[in-house]
Amino acid sequence: MNKKNQVIELFTGYSYANKETQEMKANASVTLVKSENKIILVDTMTAWDKDVLLKQLKSYHVQPEDVNFLVCTHGHSDHCGNMNLFTNATHFLGSCVSFRHLYYYHDFEKNPYVLDNDVEVMFTPGHTSTCVSLIVKNSTAEKNGTIAIVGDLFEKEEDIFDDSLWIEAGTEMEKMQRQNRLKVAEIADFIVPGHGPKFKVTDEMIEKLRLDLHM
Ligand SMILES: [Zn+2]
């Protein structure tokens, strides 16, 4: 059995809509994954959060140059605000994969992009047309469960029973997002959403997501 993949929530994202002022206060969840051979960071908050991010990484003994893969789940500013701190890492900006001026072609529709044993980047469009999620199997979660770190495929746990929360947060491809929400929930034991704490996937949630697809 491979060594377990350690998943650490560095920052818990949030979002609050203010209908009166037509504003949304939001920042993204940041997750650190220490797999067997690699250090992977998922999302980087806004450009104003450099110090918070560096401090959090340091508390887990990670320097920015130690990061091998930076996975920004999509190109919204609260998810990719600090990419230039991680110059030794291969960058994913959604499904766009690059290192310096080299851009790599990968057919995400066919296969996920494997980063290490039991760790892969999966194509999960919906919120934007190029969103990705990090799928971590054999994790440090209970029973070596699978953790999906999904950006804004799920806004927060509450959005499963209140669709307005993810739809009003913006969806470029609503039907596709519904399909990918179900697909991810079916393989994951836990989900780290873009703007809330990690939650456990229950049978009731999967049932609800299935019903949503047939609406
Ligand atoms: Zn977001």
**DSSP readout, the chain?**
-PPPBEEEEEE--EEEEETTTTEEEEE--EEEEE-SS-EEEE----GGGHHHHHHHHHHTT--GGG-SEEEESSSSTTTSTTGGG-TTSEEEETTEEEETTEEE---TTT--EEEETTEEEEE--SSSTT-EEEEE-SBSSGGG--EEE-GGGSS-GGGGT-THHHHTT--SSHHHHHHHHHHHHHH-SEEE-TTS--EE--HHHHHHHHHHHT-
Per-residue pLDDT of the chain (215 residues; tens, 9 = 90+): 568 999 999 999 999 988 899 899 999 999 999 999 999 999 999 999 999 999 999 999 999 999 999 999 999 999 999 999 999 999 999 999 999 999 999 999 999 999 999 999 999 999 999 999 999 999 988 888 999 999 999 999 999 999 999 999 999 999 999 999 999 999 999 999 999 999 999 999 999 999 988 86
Cα(1) to centroid(ligand 1), Å? 35
- C-alpha 126 to ligand 1 mean position (Å): 13
Strands 39-42 and 69-72: parallel
Q: 34: CA distance to ligand 1 center in Å?
A: 23
Centroid of ligand 1 to alpha carbon of 180 (angstroms): 17
State the distance from the centre of ligand 1 to the C-alpha of 93, rounded, in angstroms.
Answer: 13
Residue ranges of domains in the chain: 6-213
Residue 5's CB: how many other CB atoms inside 10 A?
24
> Which amino acid is it at 166?
W
Domain 6-213: CATH class, spelled out: alpha beta
Distance (angstroms) between ligand 1 centre and the Cα of 108 equals 21
Residue 29 Cα to ligand 1 middle (Å) = 8
Distance 214 CA to ligand 1 centre (A): 26
Ligand 1 center from residue 169 Cα (angstroms) = 8
Beta bridge pairs of residue 70: 41, 91
Phi, psi of 201 (to 5 degrees): -85, 125
Q: How far apart are CA 42 and CA 71, in angstroms?
A: 5
Question: What are 133's strand-pairing partners?
Answer: 122
